[in-house]
């Protein structure tokens, strides 16, 4: 296994950078293929000639854009997920709270449920499967152009890390190929939420408009006064 591949699937991302611990936005979300280590955006100028790969976060797990990863390794049969109009691939298998009991297509390494025709839920699962089969990893590795992954791509890197933080459902399963919204967008921008508040407000306004205060007032004025008893004889 080449050093960069082993580092990519084993390195820890989105932890504070010890070199720039006094700087803001110092989470390590970039992988240097030349040094085989994770770095933060402040470290990028120190790696001007090294190929770099940006790592993102999705449901608290590390993912990489499929279009970037495909320049390095064959990602066929690894299930991608479309997030914010971009396809991504998990670097490591996501932890499962309980083993799946549903019969169907599952990951060849960790048994996570997958859509057809995918066989692996993450890049790590595919690499482990190739090694367990006794095959040479060179059959799935590509010779990549370092200029396509060079420092120039990160000159305008956003310092907010461009993280992808999205919620998952209760059992840890998500629908492959589906475009998902962020939790704040689904709560604040939900059409049903706005419709509910708007409809209730409209009903209230209409119900108030249905009353005619002048009629109610006239009816109140027509009430009989208290009865007067005749004096006792």
Tell me whether strands 61-65 and 56-58 are parallel, antiparallel or unpaired: antiparallel
- So what's the pLDDT on residue 33? 93
Establish if 126 belongs to a structural domain. Answer: yes
Task: Tell me how far CA of residue 76 lies from CA of 73, 122, 133, in angstroms.
Answer: 9, 11, 17
- So what's the pLDDT on residue 190? 36
- So what's the pLDDT on residue 150? 72
**How much of the chain, in percent, has pLDDT values that exceed 70?**
62
Establish if 167 belongs to a structural domain. Answer: yes
Establish if 194 belongs to a structural domain. Answer: no
Establish if 45 belongs to a structural domain. Answer: yes
Confidence grade of residue 213 (pLDDT, cut at 50, 70, 90): very low
54 is in which domain, residue-wise?
A: 3-176
- So what's the pLDDT on residue 169? 36
- So what's the pLDDT on residue 24? 87
Establish if 112 belongs to a structural domain. Answer: yes
Q: Which helix (H) or strand (E) holds 129?
A: helix 123-132
- CB atoms near residue 112 (< 10 Å): 20
Q: What is the tens place of the pLDDT at every residue in 112-139?
A: 999 999 999 999 999 999 999 999 999 9
Q: Which residue has the higher pLDDT, 211 or 2?
A: 2
Establish if 59 belongs to a structural domain. Answer: yes
Task: List the one residue out of 77, 74, 76, 53 whose CA is nearest residue 65.
Answer: 53
Cα dihedral: 116, 121, 122, 125 (round 10): -100
The tokens for 69 are 């990863």
Q: Which of 86-90, 172-176, 191-195, 203-207 has the highest mean pLDDT?
A: 86-90
Establish if 210 belongs to a structural domain. Answer: no
Establish if 31 belongs to a structural domain. Answer: yes
Q: What is the tens place of the pLDDT at every residue in 26-81?
A: 999 999 999 999 999 999 999 988 999 999 998 889 999 999 999 999 999 999 99
Q: Is there a contact between 63 and 57 (Cβ–Cβ < 8 Å)?
A: yes
- So what's the pLDDT on residue 7? 93
Q: Is 65 helix (H, G, I), strand (E, B) or coil?
A: strand
Per-residue pLDDT for 110 more than 80?
Answer: yes
Exposed/middle/buried for residue 25 (C-beta within 10 Å: 0-12, 13-18, 19+): middle
- So what's the pLDDT on residue 92? 95
Q: Which helix (H) or strand (E) holds 31?
A: strand 30-32
Q: What sign does the CA torsion over 68, 61, 111, 134 have?
A: positive
DSSP state of 214: H
pTM strictly above 0.75 = no
Weakest mean pLDDT among 76-85, 105-114, 204-213: 204-213
Cα–Cα distance, 170 to 157 (Å, whole number): 34
**Number of domains composing the chain:** 1
Per-residue pLDDT for 96 more than 70?
Answer: yes
Q: What is the tens place of the pLDDT at every residue in 149-188?
A: 776 556 555 444 444 444 333 333 333 444 433 333 333 3
């Amino acid at each position: 296994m080449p050093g960069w591949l082993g580092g990519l699937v084993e390195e820890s991302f989105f932890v504070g950078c010890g070199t720039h611990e006094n700087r803001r936005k110092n989470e390590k979300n970039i992988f240097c293929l030349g040094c085989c280590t994770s770095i933060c955006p402040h470290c990028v100028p120190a790696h001007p000639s090294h190929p770099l790969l940006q790592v993102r976060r999705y449901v608290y797990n590390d993912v990489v854009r499929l279009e970037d990863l495909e320049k390095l390794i064959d990602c066929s049969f690894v299930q991608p997920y479309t997030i914010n109009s971009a396809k991504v691939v998990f670097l490591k298998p996501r932890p499962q709270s309980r083993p799946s009991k549903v019969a169907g297509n599952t990951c060849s390494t960790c048994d996570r449920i997958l859509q057809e025709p995918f066989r692996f839920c993450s890049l790590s699962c595919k690499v482990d499967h190739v090694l367990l089969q006794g095959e040479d990893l060179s059959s799935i590795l590509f010779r990549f152009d370092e200029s396509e992954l060079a420092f120039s791509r990160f000159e305008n890197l956003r310092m907010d890390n461009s993280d992808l933080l999205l919620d998952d459902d209760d059992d840890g399963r998500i629908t492959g190929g589906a475009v998902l919204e962020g939790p704040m967008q689904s709560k604040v921008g939900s059409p049903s939420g706005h419709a509910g508040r708007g409809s209730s407000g409209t009903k209230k306004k209409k119900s108030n408009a249905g009353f005619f205060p002048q009629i109610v007032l006239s009816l109140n004025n027509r009430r009989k006064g208290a009865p007067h008893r005749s004096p006792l004889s």
